[in-house]
Amino acid sequence: MTRKYRQRAYVPPKGAVDLLMIRHGETQAAVPGQSFPMKDGHGDPALHPDGEAQARAVGERLEGERLAAIYVTTLQRTHQTAAPLVAHLGLEPVTEPDLREVCLGDWDGGEYRIRAANNDPAFQRARDGQEWGEIPGAETTAALHTRVRAGLMRIAERHADQRVAAFVHGGVIGAAMAMACGAEPFAFNNAANGSISRLVIHRGRMTVMGFNDCAHLG
């Protein structure tokens, strides 16, 4: 009898972590002349009501997952987005500071949104050169990638052969995906609020298994 070789469903390699990266829900609008609350140099806005609805949708989407842990960052929007899933699963969130959003220097606290909407020359330079450091006082792209990788590898070391969720930020997802693919630094910087992306990390190597899944958001 001729042996037949069927296609097989992907299974993460032994010892890998299967990481779901969820971007926080939409936050409060930026208003000229009014800064968001600040935390450790970062703008720390709360979720907009639409962001709260996105958080509930994420919770409903993932409530059936067998997650070993839920990670958040130091900023409240990730805690608020994780809250519905935390309530469903009864897991205590773990904070991973190195997965906080890119530091935007003089433009943090909401100013970045305003400058970007008005196509400020420094924003144009940052976008065209794919370098966060073009923004006055901001973190460089290299520094962001270094700390994001460090945070991801710590999670990988703790969770071999497990699936975990991390509620993070758009810049962090963009950095992680670009590093995993060897893509241009800003190639994945447009993950939607409440979207789910997926990385498998094994022996320091990151494999992209999904990006910007919004099926649960309607």
The answer to whether the Cα torsion of 74, 76, 77, 81 is positive or negative is: positive
Please determine, for residue 218, whether its predicted confidence score (pLDDT) is greater than 90.
Answer: no
CA distance 60 to 97: 26
Is 148:98 a contact under the CB 8 Å cutoff?
yes
Residue 22: Cβ-neighbour burial (10 angstroms; 0-12, 13-18, 19+): buried
Upper half-sphere CA count for residue 24 (Cβ side, 13 Å): 29
Q: What is the pTM of this model?
A: 0.96
d(CA 215, CA 127): 28
- Tell me which DSSP letter residue 30 carries: P
Nearest-CA neighbor of 104 among 141, 76, 130, 135?
A: 135
The Cβ of residue 1 has, within 10 Å, a number of other Cβ atoms equal to: 3
Give the Å distances, CA to CA, from 79 to 30, 68, 90, 100, 143.
Answer: 20, 17, 14, 12, 24
| Predicted confidence (pLDDT) at residue 151 exceeds the cutoff of 90 | yes
Is pLDDT above 90 for 179? Answer: yes
Q: Residues 22-61: pLDDT tens digits?
A: 999 999 999 999 999 999 999 999 999 999 999 999 999 9
Hey, what domains does the chain have and what are their CATH numbers? 17-101+140-217 (3.40.50.1240)
Mean pLDDT score, 161-175: 98
**Would you list the DSSP string of 101-119?**
PPP-GGGTTTHHHHHHHTT
Whole-angstrom distance, CA of residue 109 vs CA of residue 129: 23
- In the prediction, which pLDDT does 69 show? 98
Residue 123 has pLDDT above 90, yes or no: yes
Summary mean pLDDT of the chain: 97
Mean pLDDT of 129-149: 98
Residue 142: pLDDT band (50, 70, 90) is: very high
